[in-house]
Each structure stands twice: as C-alpha cells, then as structure tokens.
Structure 1
Amino acid sequence: MAIHVASRRRAVASLAAAFPGAEIIDVTSRAVDPWVRLSPFYPHGGVPVPYGEGETGQCVEGIWQALKVFEHADVDPAKLDVTSMKGLKRTVRRYGPVRGHRTGLHGEELLSYETARRRIYLPAYRWVLDNRVADLVGQLRGKAEVVLLDYTTNGDVADLATPLSHAALLQLHIEGRWPDEA
C-alpha cells in the first residue's frame, strides 16, 4: 500500500500525472460522503475534549478553536457545539494575537502552539480515527495506492511555520507512525 498527501488546490491532471493509477480521495470539509467524515470539521459528536473532565465537542476543529486563547478573548465553549462545519475559525484579526491553548475550558495552563498540537489536536483527531471512522481507515488500508487531498501537506507537528495537515496525520496513522503526543 502506498499513501501520498497532496494539495487539494492541484489540478486533477497534475495529480494524475504525478500519481498514475492512484485513487485520489479528497478528505477535506468539501469532500463527498463518506470521505468528508475524515475531516476535522465533520461533526461526529461526542469527541472528548482533552483536559475537559468529561466535556465533549462535535468535531476536532471545534475543540481546537474552543480552547484557543487570544489577547482579547478567552476560550469559546460555543465552538464545541457547532455542527454546520462553518463558523468554527477564530482569528487574530478579530481577537488579537494568540496567547496559547487552554488546558480545558476551565484550565489554568496555557499551552504553546506545538504543545497544544500534541496534547489537544493529536489526541482528539486520533480518537475520531479510532472511534468514529475506523471503517474508512480500514478501507484506505485496503487500497493499493491512494492520494489524500488536503489544503496543506505538513505532517510535522514541530513545523510551526505551516498549518498541520490532517491528511498527513491520517497517512501516519495508517502507516503506524503516529506522532508523539507528549
């Protein structure tokens, strides 16, 4: 099995030329069913909030955005309940610079960006892969060659210059190379 990650912005002809014979699967929030379920924006419901003492969110992105703390805004619990896959993002333009991610809605500690990726995003997305979309992960494992499309392709949790790609994390999960969450 061969898994590749490529930008959703690439032309279909370019992808076909680069990966001849591979099945191309969009796993973004704009994908078709069933593959859209692999998006961190997809509202699976019941996703445990890391450090959340029993709290859950509808989706991984909602958890990530809910726990983000800005210069002019603290956590936003309402993001945990978003099911539309829209209106999740919280931006520096509106709230000022990001100070970190809080350890739960009521936590005292603010985590750095890399630490938050490891202790919030990774556990939440891995939980979804293991508990909500294991069937799709199994289907991907059974394919000879696949290209997963995402808006970014960065699978290095420590590379803070580029947004983290959930497609790259999915690739690592299938290959048994999940990043360290510590």
Structure 2
Amino acid sequence: MIIIETKRKKTETLLKKYPNAILADVTSKAKDGLVKLSPFYPHYGIPVPFSPGYTATCVEAVWQGLKVFEGCDVDTSLFTNDTMRGLKRTVRKYGKPLGHRKGVNGTELLGYIEARKQIYIPTYRWVLENKVKDIIDRLREVSKTKTIVLLDYDTNADVDNGREPLSHASLIKAYAEGTYPYGPRQNDSGKATLKEPSLFD
C-alpha cells in the first residue's frame, strides 16, 4: 500500500498513524537516493515538451522555463540549472502569469490545468520511466507487503484542482499503481476511459 502524507508532520505522528510503515521522503530535502524522485533533481537530458532539440536538467526547470508572465516570456536558461535552487519564477518579480507556452517556440498558451496535463505530468512520467525505473520497481515490490508513506510538501492528488499545487508524490503513487493520470480512469458508467496521453510514447 502506498499513502501520501505531508512532510511537515512529525515522524512520531506518522508512525503512530501508520505503525510499521516505511516513511519515504521524496522531496528535494531527502537524505538518500529517493531525492532522485524530486522534480528539482538534475537528471539531465529530459525532453522539453513540444520543443524539438531542447532538453532540461529537471522537471521543475521545464515547468518554470515554459511559464509566461506579463513581464517575461519563456526562460530557456532554466533548462541548464542543475543546482536544485533558483528555479522558481515569481509573480512579484515577473508580474501576472499568463500561462505556459506550448513549446519554446510555440504560439499557444496553455491554462494552468491544461499545462499540468500536457507539460508537467508527461515530463515527470518520462523521468519515472527513463531515470528512476529501479526505484519505482522496488517501490512496487515492497508496497505489496508493506505500507509505504511518501512524504511530500504538497498532498493534492487531484489533477483538476487548480487551487493547490499538484503533489509529485501522488504521481509516483499513480505510476506505481497504474492509476490516473498514468492509467485508466473510471467514467460515470464505471467503464475505464483512455489513459492520459503521453508526449513521449
């Protein structure tokens, strides 16, 4: 079983709630190899969606680099940032966000939720499939017999909830378990719908 919890909770509180569980910090502050699951971790060579010839160091570099503000367009310099710092682009500095550009040289701006679906989610899946497959395989195997609590700063697992940041831990869980947005989603009739398409299939 895989569960998502906030990293802000005390270890004692979590272990009381989930006795004998394995606590797995998947943030940029992780002290072990699980830091590789952080969107800030520099894996290098990550394809930038809708941008032939462009790659980035990490998922967050893609997400932030394709943002468009009132006072600033895309920032491809972020694609080479491998420090795990200085990746955020803020409203205070750049003005009102207008959306995410659909590719470095694209003409279309995507809204927040659509950008999640077409940029963030498939980019993170590319990392899960191509850079950390060994970790995911181990996670799947261990979760069959033990409770694994993935710790993230954000816990929102609803892709369509734009009020809160999307938890990347929830994407790890979804990928490991084959659920939405990386697997079938049930429609109102109870039938499985097509899985979210990937830019990298």
| TM-score, with length taken from structure 2 | 0.88
Q: Using CA pairs below 8 Å that are at least 6 residues apart, which structure has the higher relative contact order?
A: 1
Q: 1:181 to 1:91 in 2, by over 3 A?
A: farther
Q: Distance in 2 between matches of 1:23 and 1:146?
A: 5
Report the alpha carbon displacement of residue 178 of structure 1 after superposing the two structures with TM: 3.3
Please name the residue that 1:151 is paired with: 153
Spell out, residue by residue over 1:1-29, the C-alpha distance to the aligned partner (whole angstroms, 9 max, x if none): x0000000001111001111110010000
Equivalent residues in 2 for 1:8-157 (5 A)?
8-143=7-142, 144-157=146-159
Q: Distance in 2 between matches of 1:81 and 1:101?
A: 19
Secondary structure at 2:129 match in 1: helix
Q: Distance in 2 between matches of 1:181 and 1:108?
A: 23
Report the alpha carbon displacement of residue 97 of structure 1 after superposing the two structures with TM: 1.1
Query: Is the Cα–Cα contact under 8 Å of residues 122 and 181 in structure 1 kept in the other structure?
Result: no
Q: Segments of 4+ in structure 1 off by > 2 A?
A: none
Report the alpha carbon displacement of residue 47 of structure 1 after superposing the two structures with TM: 0.4
Report the alpha carbon displacement of residue 181 of structure 1 after superposing the two structures with TM: 3.7
Secondary structure at 2:50 match in 1: coil
Q: Distance in 2 between matches of 1:54 and 1:33?
A: 32
Please name the residue that 1:162 is paired with: 164
**How many positions carry a matched residue from both structures?**
181
Q: Percent identity, aligned pairs only?
A: 50
Report the alpha carbon displacement of residue 33 of structure 1 after superposing the two structures with TM: 2.5
Query: Is the Cα–Cα contact under 8 Å of residues 154 and 164 in structure 1 kept in the other structure?
Result: yes
Q: 1:82 to 1:38 in 2, by over 3 A?
A: same
Q: Distance in 2 between matches of 1:149 and 1:54?
A: 34
Q: Distance in 2 between matches of 1:132 and 1:145?
A: 24
| TM-score, with length taken from structure 1 | 0.97
- Residue type at the aligned position of 1:20: P
Q: Distance in 2 between matches of 1:54 and 1:15?
A: 44
Quote the RMSD (CA, aligned, Å). 0.9
Query: Is the Cα–Cα contact under 8 Å of residues 119 and 181 in structure 1 kept in the other structure?
Result: no
Q: Distance in 2 between matches of 1:165 and 1:6?
A: 10
Report the alpha carbon displacement of residue 90 of structure 1 after superposing the two structures with TM: 0.2
Larger radius of gyration: 2
Gaps spanning 5+ residues in structure 1: where?
none
Secondary structure at 1:142 match in 2: helix
